[in-house]
């Protein structure tokens, strides 16, 4: 007769589940998670640095396309990365929940019976002067939980260890909930405003904005921010920034009373659950472009993007209202210096000696083509260059079809507006996790037994330290000493 | 400026001490090693004190806590590592580790004062926060203890290899048993894992205040996470049958290497929000 030792469907699923929730699987999944996170730090990621990703595509198009299919540029939102941490959490929940129920049941239970044979225990001694009563007194004083039988005592201490362990693992789940809430209901956006301008929290005011899947544009907190002054201070020797300070008038709604606030890098503005951070800053040169008759065709601040630590900035000025259309590719240097090789760079990030270098183009700006264009770059495919000029402050250059005046400059600030409704849960989860860790790793769980020796007076003492915790030897020595009197 | 000079001199003395410790410990004759071992320990303690003085002087000269660039991280890291060794020396018997500790500290400081040195300068605005003290000090101290645990794990693996092949060589006879090496590694990692967890979380809280999000998978954040997960795996390994001992020791080394990678690669070559003064 042969016995069928293969598992049927139900048992197979049970077996799979046992495997999934085993320590070994947890270990392997943890390692996998760590290794899986590595590519995200070696390759540019779309969420962090989209420009670097497109640069990668430009320089290695074949590899980039292949990597993109593996979602190497979006590692942390990729299915394979998500699969690992989801499996890990399933394993965690599957292991921790039953253990929690077990623990809750056992938390009030008295220690189990004293084993018959104490000789094999980790620590074992015979104390001829000892009695059960003196042992019990010591155990009570040291806050052991005691089970006293006719001829023996079984004592246990260190239940907090398991409590801490479970608390830690359960709080990881809370962190996951916080992260999920934030990503579903949150929003994040960037907006650049010049000093003197007002930012109103509506979708159109943003340069970039994204919402969580369950969030919508209608729930934006309608505050306003008017930048009144921005000051960046730099170290005179190294040119490194030492402080950024933005003064702004803020109001909770258009029309309500404005309050004056200061925004710094480590102190954002708060409007309910939305926070506004000072992210970056730069310069916008102020220009006036006139046509041949002297009529103003363009006037205002044009945001230029910094290219280095000394805020050499580049940008484009587009004048679609002129016939033919005129465009400028510009470079703004707050403190002008001639670089080796003849180009112009800035030698210090504050505006001490500004110049505006322009190349002048005429033709079709391409704004009517329907395809989106960067406001910082000129599409010169349908244009012809007609001039090159470096302007000092208040200087005007006549380029034939018109003139351009470099009137001045204003700083701009890049504000990052973020709302993350889940972050408090994540924070609470983290704090509880640390508490749980401390409890679990620093609590020693051990058992001590004392049994009367049948043949003569005295007792035998034995102890067991769970998880090989240290210190048991000293404890038992102390107990023995107490019993000896 | 004078303060720099003092810091420099204190460093040089510190380095000199470490060298002397090296010399003292290369003797096989066990009757004499006790004495030279003790001298070595004293040297390391003196070295620690002078390094502490050096770090304090750097701090005074820069008018802030001394952890804003690689040079400062290196000297503080070496301090933390030495401190961890001295602390462990007091609680456990690990005098035999003095030689590798001295060599590592020597190498770190050597690199620091030759290649990584930058003059004292104020912090960039993003670093001007109390969190700098909290987050970075927790990270550096954890790193010091983790690396010490790694040294012990490495010793475990080396001795394990010898024992497998027949026996320990002469110089290794008085070193502790594999079992106690394994236990000691575990205790050190378990001791400092909560602090490391706290360092990562403190970083997240600070990131929320400065950058708008508490976690953005910035390279340094990612590698801190990887280190955390790897040490968590190590802790799990020790309670898994079949993973104690050798496999656990390898896991510990892997986790420590992620920490070192974070320190070296990410600081120097990575791009992200954690790269500041260029170095």
For the record, the structure tokens of B14 come out as 């510190």
A208 sits in which H/E element? strand A208-211
Report the C-alpha gap between A113 and A122 in whole angstroms.
17
Query: Angle, to 10 degrees, between the axis of helix A160-185 and the axis of helix A79-106?
Result: 140
| Element containing residue A107 per DSSP (H, E) | none
Q: Look at phi and psi of residue A366 and say left if phi exceeds 0, alpha if psi is from -120 to 50, else beta.
A: left
Kindly determine whether residue A277 and residue B212, on different chains, have CB atoms separated by under 8 Å. Answer: yes
User: With an 8 Å Cβ cutoff, are B217 and A49 in contact?
Assistant: no
Spatial CA neighbour of A158 closest among A480, A470, A482: A470
State whether B222 and A37 contact (CB < 8 Å). yes
For chain B, the domains span 1-122, 124-279
**Which tokens go with B37?**
């071992």
Q: How far is the C-alpha of B246 from the C-alpha of B157, rounded, in Å? A: 7
Chain B residues lying within 8 Å of A33, measured CB to CB: 229
User: Shortest Cα distance from A186 to chain B (angstroms)?
Assistant: 11
Q: A100-146: per-residue pLDDT in tens?
A: 998 888 887 888 888 888 888 878 888 777 788 888 888 888 888 88
A92 pLDDT exceeds 60? Answer: yes
Crossing angle (nearest 10°) for helices B178-211 and A423-442? 160
For A274, the 3-state DSSP assignment is strand
- HSE of A250 in the Cβ direction (CA atoms, 13 Å)? 17
Domains (ranges, CATH) in chain A?
Answer: 9-103 (no CATH), 110-158+444-484 (3.30.310.50), 184-281+416-430 (no CATH), 283-411 (no CATH)
d(CA B144, CA B142): 5
Give the span between the Cα atoms of B60 and B52, in whole angstroms.
Answer: 12
Q: What are the C-alpha distances in Å from B80 to residues A325, B52, B176, B263?
A: 64, 10, 24, 14
User: What's the pLDDT band for B277 if we cut at 50, 70, 90?
Assistant: very low
User: pLDDT by residue (tens digit) across A277-287?
Assistant: 988 899 999 99
Q: Which residues of B16-30 are buried (b: 16+ CB within 10 A; e: fewer)?
A: ebbebbbebbeeeee
Amino acid A139: pLDDT: 85
Q: Which pLDDT band holds residue A437 (cuts at 50, 70, 90)?
A: very high
Nearest to B233 among A31, A179, A264 (CB): A31
Tens of pLDDT along B216-235?
888 888 999 999 999 999 98
Q: In percent, how much of chain B has pLDDT > 70?
A: 77
pLDDT of A170 higher than 90 = yes
Cβ-based neighbours of A405, under 8 Å, separated by 6 or more: A287, A288, A289, A290, A391, A394, A395, A396, A397
Residue A26 at interface with chain B, using a CB cutoff of 8 Å: yes
Tokens representing A347 are 């030698």
Give the tens place of pLDDT for each residue, A249-263: 998 888 888 889 999
CB contact under 8 A, A277 and B183: no
Can you name the residues that pair with A300 across neighbouring β-strands?
Answer: A287
Note whether A34 contacts B258, CB cutoff 8 Å: yes
Instruction: Say which residues have a Cβ less than 8 Å from residue B178's Cβ, sequence separation at least 6.
Output: B156, B159, B160, B163, B245
The sign of the dihedral angle between the CA atoms of A474, A449, A155, A130 is negative
Residue A353 sits at the vertex; the CA angle it makes with A349 and A359, to the nearest 5 degrees, is 90
Cβ B222–A467 below 8 Å, yes or no?
no
The CA distances from residue A98 to A21, A95, A119, A381, B233, in Å, are 11, 6, 34, 68, 21
- Determine the pLDDT at residue B81: 87
- DSSP lists the bridge partners of residue A82 as none
3-state secondary structure at position A146: strand
**Distance, in angstroms, between B123 CA and closest chain A CA?**
6
Residue ranges of A 274-303 with Cβ closer than 8 A to chain B: 275, 277, 279
d(C-alpha B57, C-alpha A141), whole Å: 49
Asked if the model's pLDDT at residue B252 lies above 90, the reply is yes
Sheet holding A198-200, edge to edge: A198-200, A224-234, A241-251, A259-263
User: Cα A248 to the chain's mean position, in Å?
Assistant: 27
Strand order in the sheet with A446-452: A123-127, A459-465, A446-452, A152-157, A145-148
Residue contact B240–A434, C-beta within 8 A: no
CA distance A169 to chain B (A): 12
């Amino acid at each position: 007769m042969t016995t069928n030792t293969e598992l049927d469907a139900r048992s197979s699923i049970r077996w799979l589940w046992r495997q999934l929730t085993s320590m070994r699987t947890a270990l392997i999944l943890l390692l996998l998670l760590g290794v899986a996170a590595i590519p995200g730090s070696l390759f540019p990621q779309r969420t962090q640095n989209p420009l670097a990703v497109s640069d990668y595509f430009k320089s290695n198009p074949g590899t980039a396309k292949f990597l993109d299919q593996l979602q190497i540029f979006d590692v942390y939102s990729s299915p394979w990365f998500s699969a690992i941490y989801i499996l890990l959490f399933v394993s965690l929940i599957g292991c921790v929940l039953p253990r929690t129920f077990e623990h809750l049941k056992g938390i009030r239970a008295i220690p189990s019976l004293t084993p018959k044979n104490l000789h094999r225990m980790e620590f074992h001694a015979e104390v001829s002067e000892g009695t059960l009563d003196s042992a019990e007194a010591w155990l009570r004083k040291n806050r052991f939980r005691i089970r006293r039988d006719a001829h023996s005592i079984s004592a246990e201490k260190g239940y907090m260890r398991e409590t801490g362990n479970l608390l830690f693992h359960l709080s990881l789940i809370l962190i996951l909930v916080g992260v999920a809430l934030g990503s579903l209901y949150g929003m994040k956006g960037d907006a650049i405003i010049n000093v003197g301008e007002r930012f109103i929290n509506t979708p159109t005011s943003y340069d970039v904005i994204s919402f969580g899947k369950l969030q919508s544009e209608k729930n934006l907190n309608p505050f306003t921010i008017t930048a009144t002054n921005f000051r960046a201070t730099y170290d005179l020797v190294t040119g490194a920034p030492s402080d950024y300070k933005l003064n702004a008038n803020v109001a909770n709604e258009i029309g309500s009373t404005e309050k004056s606030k200061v925004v710094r890098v480590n102190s954002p503005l708060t409007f309910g659950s939305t926070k506004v951070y000072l992210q970056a800053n730069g310069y916008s040169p102020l220009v006036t472009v006139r046509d041949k008759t002297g009529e103003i065709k363009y006037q205002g601040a044009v945001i230029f993007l910094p290219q280095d630590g000394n805020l050499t900035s580049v940008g484009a000025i587009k004048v679609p209202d002129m016939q033919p259309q005129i465009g400028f590719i510009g470079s703004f240097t707050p403190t002008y210096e001639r670089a080796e090789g003849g180009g112009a760079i800035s030698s210090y990030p504050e505006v001490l000696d500004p110049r505006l270098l322009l190349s002048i183009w005429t033709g079709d700006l391409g704004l009517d083509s329907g395809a989106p264009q960067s406001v910082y770059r000129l599409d010169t495919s349908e244009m012809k260059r007609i001039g090159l000029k470096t302007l000092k402050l208040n200087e005007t250059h006549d380029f034939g079809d018109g003139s351009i005046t470099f009137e001045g400059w204003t700083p701009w600030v890049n504000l990052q507006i973020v709302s993350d409704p889940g972050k408090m849960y994540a924070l609470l989860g983290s704090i509880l996790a640390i508490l749980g860790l401390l409890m679990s790793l620093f609590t020693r769980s051990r058992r001590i037994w004392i049994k009367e020796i049948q043949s003569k007076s005295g007792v035998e003492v034995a102890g067991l330290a769970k998880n090989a915790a240290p210190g048991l030897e000293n404890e038992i020595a102390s107990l023995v000493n107490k019993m000896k009197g | 400026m004078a303060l720099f000079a003092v810091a420099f001199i204190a460093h040089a003395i510190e380095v000199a001490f470490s060298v002397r410790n090296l010399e003292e410990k290369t003797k096989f004759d066990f009757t004499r090693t006790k004495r030279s071992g003790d001298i070595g320990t004293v040297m390391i303690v003196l070295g620690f004190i002078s390094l502490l003085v050096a770090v304090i002087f750097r701090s005074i000269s820069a008018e802030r806590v001394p952890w804003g660039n690689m040079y400062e991280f290196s000297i503080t890291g070496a301090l933390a590592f030495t401190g961890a060794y001295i602390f462990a020396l007091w609680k456990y018997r690990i005098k035999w580790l003095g030689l590798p500790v001295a060599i590592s500290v020597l190498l770190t400081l050597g690199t620091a004062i030759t290649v990584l040195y930058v003059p004292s300068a104020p912090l960039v605005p993003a670093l001007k926060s109390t969190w700098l003290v909290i987050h970075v000090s927790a990270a550096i101290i954890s790193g010091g203890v983790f690396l010490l645990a790694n040294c012990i794990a490495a010793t475990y693996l080396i001795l394990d290899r010898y024992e497998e092949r027949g026996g320990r060589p002469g110089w290794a006879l008085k070193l502790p048993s594999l079992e106690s090496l394994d236990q000691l590694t575990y205790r050190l990692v378990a001791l400092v894992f909560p602090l490391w967890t706290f360092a990562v979380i403190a970083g997240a809280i600070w990131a929320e205040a400065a950058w708008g999000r508490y976690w953005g998978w910035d390279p340094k954040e990612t590698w801190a996470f990887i280190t955390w997960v790897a040490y968590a795996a190590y802790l799990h390994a020790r309670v898994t049958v079949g993973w104690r001992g050798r496999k656990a020791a390898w896991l510990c080394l892997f986790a420590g290497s992620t920490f070192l990678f974070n320190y070296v690669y990410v600081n120097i070559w990575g791009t992200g929000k954690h790269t500041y003064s260029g170095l």
